[in-house]
Chains A and B, each alone.
Chain A
């Protein structure tokens, strides 16, 4: 067996390029896949730790006016016999500028089945409760505190403000960047006096909210893991795509290595090596190469994940408020899974090789005649496979049409995958037909005729790489158009919603005075007061009947006026925009698209909203877009919100006349009402921050897209390099017949660019279909809002240029080698054929 294996491997000594391409394919496929899985695994670990803590495991009480509790209020609740526990939450800044969340708790009153209570069992409760107290911290946060793991125990790091933390105790189960300590120690550090952030209770311990407070049940709080599921699914889909494209390289290299070793395999069979031994030896070869490629890929994947993790963390933080650690935290099954996926992929790509080796006919030595009919059979199978995949895509589309909008995230991804697969499978038959037709047309042009006929001959070896290129181009175009469309929509939406040049954030009790003062300022054209509150969406009445819901929602009040209403975007109204705004001013409500999608609501439906002391049934007059908001929101006129739900003011937009002196107004306002400098925000600054967050959100998407395209280019290069020798053998006779080498080199480039251009042209409708799938299905299912479908001719031109560019880049090296080969070398290769 060793002898057979070493004989098989000797092929790669003569063809090291094939070995390099094989390992390269395995490496990139494995690296991109395992990199993404490393990010997912780290994020999931962070979510699990956050889940196990407080926020989603406990019922929460909050004041309806959003103000903090006082200790006296807490004591009053305890004296009333309610099983509640106080919690203080704030931020501390470490010396290196990192912001850590500090949570103060009272373990004596905290529910015993909570993760913290369990984490405490190994330590003395009295040490936690009494000075100098203890700081529970996850190992991830030590670096920010400037402490090594070895020195962590009982260390008392100093914060940026000079205060020191109580002695550290490591608690790996805690979320990253979170410190837990006794509420008294936390109050000292946060200088919160007798304020409490919220009051919590064991799930179900309270039957109803005490007067003046809101009760949010743990069961209605979405955990970060649930919120971010779509994001991770998206990442996994992109990783899977890169893995598939990488395996195209592997398949191309393996196929060629087998084809070139057919003679060797037959000789081995003739010499008495059994078919079974041959397949075993080839399997061992695959395993050996697979292990090398997979291990290199996993190591690179971890490196890639480290590189991308800060951006992913920022994205998840800004999109969902989910905190994930900056350090990779990889469980054992990540490593085993990565290896298994890489080796499984290799087995998938190599199964054809093993099958052919097992069925090798010893008598058909050196027979190459069957390739044409064999490839025709393959094309037929591809056409049938493509039709089947397209059938699946159509069936999924029909199925999705009968689902309520917002359902079918996985189905949406499967639909896009089926579309990609169908198009990829149809590409080689399409190219074969196109080439055949063009060959027929070019009969009078001998060189073009030859080039087209020769391209038909190259197609079997190039088709996999072309399929990879099609998938990568279409995905790039699809995702690029989606992001571009999202950017346009988002910027437009920001412009529509941020109509005032200045926004004021002041303490709630000051708004009345400020409003009265601003009313007398001639340069202030309009004051747009907003209010916020929370409520529970109790029930919905639709034409189909009434149903109870019980979902927590946000209430948001705006001031309809001539500055805001003409620009505020509406997606659906009961009649028209003006009627909708008229109804709004009279007490009707608007709801955001997320809420409409999640609860299948339309204008005209009625919602029953429940808040302490208020129970209102209101009519939906319109649905508005609310990009980036993960929650359902009900919009009503600010005075209505104050009257019905006693909601406090939260901000005020100041629309100014053209001649207003903004700086003077700002200074006067701040001075007169003794406001902090951050109380007034500039509209441009808000837009800049929002746009920055937006751009960062798509950093990883862009990076993965670019990597996938790079992998496709590599697949093409691999295919071209692996067949470069046989190409030269085919070009040499033409050169001998009197076709100048420059012309042959140009033809060579033109052949590939032409095929890539045809692939690029096919990628355009496919990319548009993917954009549609992303904005109309996946986005709605993942985020609850639908984006308009924007098409960018510029992006399409870039796609075509990229296709041709990638092909030219991949063809440049083999063409250069042909160009630089001496005539004698060409003829020698020819003679050695």
Chain B
């Protein structure tokens, strides 16, 4: 489903070129879950951005369903994100001007896959029933991240990309959110790529890789 082949990525910084990814190759099969671990600044988020077509590699290819993402024009990459991917960020990034229900259905509506029964089911599963008319800032941190997960899964994408989804939450809430995330991933049978520095987050997943100085290594938990 998702494949990185000999990917290189370098950023220009005031201190000189910064080699973030160096000859990175990986494969993620449909329905598989993968944790990508590493220190801060190791390039985890860059890898996730490349996977989502938010950024492009300098060398190598990133393919989704055997399609080279870098060769697609920007509108097509946007369409790919809209229809095939779900994205969950550490900072939630809900749309403050929309209510809970409108946030939840936003991506599904953009992808023209809005299904009322499914979103009603999601609302129940997310524990946000009765809060549909609230605005994001009226929710707690855990509720906001649950809503962000629901938004990503509302169009039932085949691949969910999550960048430190529990990084902004306390330990208890983080556990609850992770449990919900994995449960919904199982329910929707989508593939999952999580970027995290937490072994607790990585542990329940099928596979775990570590990114160190731009190189990808198999990791033992």
In the bound complex, do residue B75 and residue A742 qualify as a contact, i.e. CB atoms below 8 Å apart?
Answer: yes
Per-residue contact bits, chain A 725-755, to B (CB 8 Å; 1 contact, 0 not) = 0000010111111111110000000000000
A101 to B109, CA, bound (A): 80
The reply to whether the CB of B66 lies closer than 8 angstroms to some CB of chain A is: no
**Closest Cβ–Cβ distance, residue A459 to chain B (whole Å):** 10
B80 with A450: CB separation less than 8 A: no
CB of B29 within 8 A of chain A?
Answer: no
Interface code B106-128, partner A: CB below 8 Å = 1, 0 otherwise? 11011100000000000000000
**List of A residues within 8 angstroms of B83 by Cβ:** 738
Assuming the contacts A733-B95, A823-B49, asked whether A372 and B78 have C-beta atoms less than 8 A apart, the reply is no
Q: Are B82 and A737 in contact (CB under 8 A)?
A: yes
Number of A-B contacts (CB under 8 A): 88
The yes or no answer to B172 lying at the interface (CB within 8 A) is: no
Query: Given A368-B137, A450-B106, A736-B87, do A827 and B93 touch, yes or no (CB 8 Å)?
Result: no
- Say yes or no for A285: interface residue by CB 8 A criterion: no
Task: Output the nearest chain A residue to B56 by Cβ-Cβ distance.
Answer: A823
> With A453-B98, A831-B91, A833-B91 as given contacts, are A738 and B55 in contact (CB-CB < 8 Å)?
no
Bound complex: CA A80 to CA B52 (Å): 110
Asked if A369 and B138 make an inter-chain contact with CB atoms under 8 angstroms apart, the answer reads yes
CB B61 to nearest CB in A, in angstroms, measures: 18
Determine whether B74 belongs to the interface, using a CB cutoff of 8 Å to chain A. Answer: yes
- A residues in contact with B111, CB < 8 Å: 738
- For the complex, what is the distance from the CA of A742 to the CA of B49, rounded to whole Å? 19
Interface residue? A456 (CB, 8 A): yes
> With the chains together, A368 CA to B135 CA distance in Å?
12
| Shortest Cβ gap from B127 to chain A (Å) | 20
| A311 adjacent to chain B (CB < 8 Å) | no
Bound-state Cα–Cα, A740 to B78, Å: 5
Contact of A737 among B49, B55, B107, B137 (CB under 8 A): B107
- The verdict on A454 contacting B93 (CB below 8 Å), with A735-B78, A737-B87 known, is no
Q: What per-residue 1/0 map shows which CB atoms of B128-164 lie under 8 Å from chain A?
A: 0000000101100000000000010000000000000
CB-CB nearest in chain A for B108: A446
A450 touches B95 (CB 8 A): yes
A106: Cβ under 8 A from any B Cβ: no
- Asked whether B79 is an interface residue with its Cβ less than 8 Å from the other chain, the reply is yes
Among residues of B, the one whose C-beta sits closest to the C-beta of A822 is: B55
Chain A's interface: helix, strand, loop or mixed, by majority? helix
Alpha-carbon separation in the docked complex, A738 to B137 (Å): 23
List of A residues within 8 angstroms of B80 by Cβ: 738
How far is the CB of B7 from the nearest CB of chain A, in Å? 16
Q: In the complex, which residues of chain A have a beta carbon less than 8 angstroms from the beta carbon of B11?
A: 824
B55: which of A732, A823, A830 is its contact (CB, 8 Å)? A823
In angstroms, Cα B83 to Cα A740, docked, is 13
A738 & B95 in contact (Cβ 8 Å cutoff): no
Asked if B81 is an interface residue, CB under 8 A from chain A, the answer is: yes
Judge whether B102 is part of the interface by a CB distance below 8 angstroms: yes
Pairwise interchain contact B96-A730, C-beta atoms closer than 8 A: yes
Assembly CA distance A823 to B9 (angstroms)? 14
Which of A368, A738, A830 touches B78 (beta carbons < 8 Å)?
A738
Asked if B102 and A453 make an inter-chain contact with CB atoms under 8 angstroms apart, the answer reads yes
Q: Which of A369, A450, A827 contacts B137 (CB 8 A)?
A: A369
A 736-780 contacts with B by CB, 8 A:
736-742
Residues of A within 8 A of B15 (CB): none
CB of B54 within 8 Å of the partner chain? yes
In the assembled complex, which residues on chain B have CB atoms less than 8 Å from the CB atom of A368?
137
Residue numbers in B under 8 Å from A741 (CB-CB): 74, 78
Q: What are 25 sample pairs from A and B whose C-beta atoms fall under 8 A apart?
A: A369-B138, A372-B137, A446-B105, A446-B109, A447-B110, A450-B97, A450-B98, A453-B98, A454-B95, A456-B97, A457-B96, A730-B95, A733-B94, A733-B95, A735-B78, A737-B87, A738-B78, A738-B79, A738-B107, A738-B111, A741-B78, A823-B49, A823-B54, A831-B45, A833-B91
Interface residues of B (CB under 8 A from A): 11, 45, 49, 52, 54-55, 74-75, 78-83, 85, 87, 89-91, 93-98, 102, 105-107, 109-111, 135, 137-138, 151
What are the 6 tightest A-B residue pairs by CB atom distance, in nearest-first order?
A: A738-B82, A446-B109, A738-B81, A733-B93, A453-B97, A457-B97
Further contacts, 10 of them, CB under 8 A, given A736-B54, A742-B74: A369-B137, A369-B138, A372-B137, A734-B95, A737-B107, A738-B78, A738-B79, A738-B81, A738-B107, A823-B54
